[in-house]
Amino acid sequence: LEVTGAPIFSEEKRWKGVVLVFHDITELKHLEQMRKDFVANVSHELKTPITSIRGFSETLLDGAMKDEKMLEQFLHIILRESGRLQSLIQDLLELSKVEREDFNMNVEEIDVQRLLNDLLPIVKQHADKKQVQLSAFIEGVTIIQGDSSRLKQVFMNLLTNAINYSEENGKVGIHFQESKDYVTVSITDNGVGIPEEEVPRIFERFYRVDKARSRNSGGTGLGLAIVKHIVEAHHGTVRVESVIDKGTSFHVEIPKKFTEN
Ligand code: ADP
């Protein structure tokens, strides 16, 4: 609470009292703290790969590159870490766009099933690498209004997560449902699950339940924050159901008709 005060005087300059104004600055303080945390997080996330790239390059130049095995191993690390920087910067740029209330949506008529089917070959590659089985139940044609490249990104992020947070031989399913005014796409895995008390926080920027697992699988911690903003820009909702060690479902519901704000 912030308090400011001022005396008040009558016309004859006689003191009559004081006015006290109470400002509730909890919300402002909270926003300021979130901004500071965000800057600290970004700096930390950028620093880690850069330190690693510098360290391994220096070691190579100091003589390690004479050993061919080491040369190859270190170059792989440098490539991986610079890839991580690239994903982080891409996600940061995308997030800063979609966080703006007036961000530019490119709305057109989209065939949802086709959009999902277009993603399958890319997702399948990733699933095969992790030996995760992918099954899609997306028959038919349904036309909705939306930003197709942004919706692709939503489903891509959710599918990548479903695969990353699955164990080997896990199963990931994509289901499609429609009602008169809405379409719902559900992405279900039988992976590690999310503790109930952490579910409300996973859409926050850089919030991760298991930091090591997220980083090892190339996660930036920004995927779900981006998902939430894009779905909300379509006036839709994301619902999460999760049971620890049993699996997780994300249900994305989007109105068929797009309405401007
Ligand atoms: P990340 O890049 O870390 O995956 P996200 O924003 O996409 O970042 O997700 C935030 C966190 O939510 C993840 O770090 C993970 O802990 C949790 N999470 C997301 N999807 C799933 C899932 N399908 N199963 C289990 N945990 C998940």
What's the CA gap between 62 and 211, in Å, rounded?
32
The per-residue pLDDT for 237 is 98
- Residue in 41, 95, 208, 242 to alter for ligand 1 test, most ligand atoms within 8 A of Cβ: 208
Q: What is the mean pLDDT of residues 119-145?
A: 96
What's the CA gap between 245 and 163, in Å, rounded?
14
- Ligand 1 contact via 226 beta carbon (within 6 Å): no
Tell me, in angstroms, the distance from the centre of ligand 1 to residue 202's CA: 7
pLDDT tens digits, 154-201: 999 999 999 999 999 999 999 999 999 999 999 999 999 999 999 999
**What is the pTM for the complete model shown?**
0.88
CA-nearest of 187, 176, 188, 196 to 154 is 187
pLDDT tens digits, 192-236: 999 999 999 999 999 999 988 888 888 999 999 999 999 999 999
Q: What is the mean pLDDT of residues 71-99?
A: 96
